[in-house]
C-alpha cells in the first residue's frame, strides 16, 4: 500500500514541475536571469570558459546562489560558507566579493599551471572584442627559444 502512495506522490510532484515549466516566466525575472548569467560569464571568461546557463525553472536568486557556490572556492573570506544559506539581502554584497576574488584568482600568474595558456575575451570601451592571452610564457614562445646560451655578441666597434 505504501508503494502506491509513494508512486502517487511522485506523480503529483512531476505534474507540479510540469506546470511550473509550462508557466511563462515574467519579463523582470527573465531579465534578472540574463543579468546574472552575464555577470557570471564575465568572471568565467577570465578562466577561459563560459558560465553554465540557468536550469529551466530556476529563479534568478537560485541561479545566483549556484554560481556563487561555483566561484566561492576562489574566495578566502567566503570559501567555507554555504551559498544556499545566503539570504537575498546579503546576496549582492557576498556575490560582489566572491566574484572579485574569483576574477583576481583567474588573472594571478601564480595560479597558472605549467604549459597553460588561456584566452581571455573582453569587450573594450568601444564594444570591440579583445582577446588577451595569459599563462605560461614558455607555452606560447618556448618553441622560438634556442635553448642555448649566448657565447659572444658581435659589436661592430670591435673590428
Structure pTM?
Answer: 0.69
C-alpha to C-alpha distance for 80 and 3, rounded to whole angstroms: 40
Helix, strand counts (H, E) of the chain: 5, 2
Please state at what angle helix 88-107 crosses helix 27-45, rounded to 10 degrees: 30
For every one of its 159 residues, what pLDDT tens digit does the chain have, with 9 covering 90 and above? 578 889 999 998 888 877 776 778 888 999 999 999 999 999 998 888 889 999 888 899 999 999 999 999 999 999 998 888 888 889 999 999 999 999 999 888 778 788 888 888 888 899 898 888 887 777 778 777 766 666 666 767 666
Do 83 and 98 touch, CB atoms closer than 8 A? no
Which residue in this structure is represented by grid cell 570591440? Answer: 128
- Interhelix angle for 60-71 vs 88-107, to 10°? 40
Amino acid at each position: 500500500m505504501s508503494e502506491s502512495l509513494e508512486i502517487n506522490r511522485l506523480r503529483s510532484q512531476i505534474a507540479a514541475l510540469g506546470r511550473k515549466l509550462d508557466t511563462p516566466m515574467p519579463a523582470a525575472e527573465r531579465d534578472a536571469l540574463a543579468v546574472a548569467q552575464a555577470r557570471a560569464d564575465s568572471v568565467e571568461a577570465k578562466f577561459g570558459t563560459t558560465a553554465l546557463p540557468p536550469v529551466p525553472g530556476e529563479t534568478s536568486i537560485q541561479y545566483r546562489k549556484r554560481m556563487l557556490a561555483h566561484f566561492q572556492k576562489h574566495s578566502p573570506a567566503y570559501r567555507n560558507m554555504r551559498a544556499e544559506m545566503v539570504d537575498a539581502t546579503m546576496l549582492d554584497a557576498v556575490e560582489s566579493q566572491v566574484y572579485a576574488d574569483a576574477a583576481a584568482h583567474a588573472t594571478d600568474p601564480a595560479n597558472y599551471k605549467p604549459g597553460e595558456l588561456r584566452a581571455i575575451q573582453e569587450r573594450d570601451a568601444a564594444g570591440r572584442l579583445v582577446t588577451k592571452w595569459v599563462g605560461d610564457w614558455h607555452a606560447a614562445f618556448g618553441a622560438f627559444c634556442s635553448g642555448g646560451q649566448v657565447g659572444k655578441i658581435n659589436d661592430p666597434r670591435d673590428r
